[in-house]
Amino acid sequence: MKRTWIWAVLMGVAAGAGVQAEPEGYQGPGFSATRVETVGGDSETSTIYLSRHGMREESGPAGHRLVIISNPDSGKTWVMDEKHRVYQSLAQATAAARDRRDAEADTLLDPRPCMGFDLTRRLGQEKVAGRMTQKWVCGNSRTRREVMQWFDPGLKLVIRERTPHGRQVELRDIRLADPEAELFRLPAGYREGKVGGR
C-alpha cells in the first residue's frame, strides 16, 4: 500500500465526496491512538487525537507530516503539509452522505455501531486493543455487502472495522488523556494553497 490515507482523502474531496469530520458532538473521553490500516498484508499507520475539541490525524515523519484537523468550534476541516507549511480547507461530508453507507465506506470512529446501515446484527463481545467491545455485522440491503465492526462503549466509537475484501482498520495503543486544544487549531505561519501536488 504505497498510497497513504491522505491521498485517498484528497482524491475523495476532488470528486466532491467531502471528508467525515470527527464524530458529531463527541462526548467520550479524550484519547490518542495509532490507526493501523491493513490490506493484503501491507500496513500503514497514522496517529489519531480525539476529544471534544476535535479530531486530528497525522501521517509521516516529524517535519514532513500530512495532517488532517477537524475543528467543531469553527465547523472547519483542514489538511496541512508540514514540509511546505501549506494548508487546504476541505468540505465535510453531509449527514445525508454519512447515512448512505456501503460496506467499503470508512466506518472507524463512527459514534454508533452500524451507523447508516439497514441490516444489523450484534454477535457478542470481544477484546480489541485491551478494551472490551461489541462485535457487529452491518449490511447494506442494496449492495448485499457486509462490514464487521467492533464498537467500544467506553469510548463511544467503532475502534475496528473489516470489509468484505479484507481491508481492516483499527485503533491500537489507545492512551486515555485529553489532548491539548492547540492540536485542533490551524497553526500560525501556514499559507492557504493546494495540498497533495506531486
Q: Give the confidence band of 194 by pLDDT, cuts at 50, 70, 90.
A: confident
Per the structure block, which three cell numbers stand in for 101? 453507507
Tens of pLDDT, residue by residue over 88-124, are: 998 754 444 444 445 456 788 899 999 989 999 999 9
Per the structure block, which three cell numbers stand in for 100? 448512505
Q: What is the pLDDT of residue 92?
A: 54
* Mean pLDDT for the stretch of residues 180-188: 92
Is it the case that residue 158 has pLDDT exceeding 60? yes
Q: What is the pLDDT of residue 38?
A: 94
| pTM for this model (two decimals) | 0.81
The CATH number given to whatever domain includes residue 121 is 2.50.20.10
Please indicate whether residue 123 or residue 1 has the higher confidence score (pLDDT): 123
Backbone region of residue 32 per phi and psi (left: phi > 0; alpha: psi in -120 to 50; beta: other values): beta
Question: Does 135 map to a domain?
Answer: yes
Question: Does 197 map to a domain?
Answer: no
**Residue listed under C-alpha cell 493501523:** 36
Is it the case that residue 154 has pLDDT exceeding 90? yes
Question: Does 144 map to a domain?
Answer: yes
Number of domains the chain is built from = 1
**Residue listed under C-alpha cell 457478542:** 124
8 Å CB contact between 158 and 108: yes
Q: What is the pLDDT of residue 25?
A: 61
Tens of pLDDT, residue by residue over 70-86, are: 988 888 899 999 999 99
What is the overall mean pLDDT for the chain? 82
Question: Does 70 map to a domain?
Answer: yes
Question: Does 106 map to a domain?
Answer: yes
3-state secondary structure of 18: coil
Where in the sequence is the domain holding 135, given as residue range(s)? 5-192
Question: Does 31 map to a domain?
Answer: yes
* Mean pLDDT for the stretch of residues 160-174: 93
| CA angle in degrees (0–180, nearest 5) for 152-116-104 | 85
Please indicate whether residue 25 or residue 169 has the higher confidence score (pLDDT): 169
Element (H, E) at 9: helix 5-14
* Mean pLDDT for the stretch of residues 132-155: 94
Question: Does 198 map to a domain?
Answer: no
Per the structure block, which three cell numbers stand in for 118? 439497514
Question: Does 98 map to a domain?
Answer: yes
- For residue 88, the tally of other CB atoms under 10 A from its CB is 16
Q: What is the pLDDT of residue 20?
A: 46
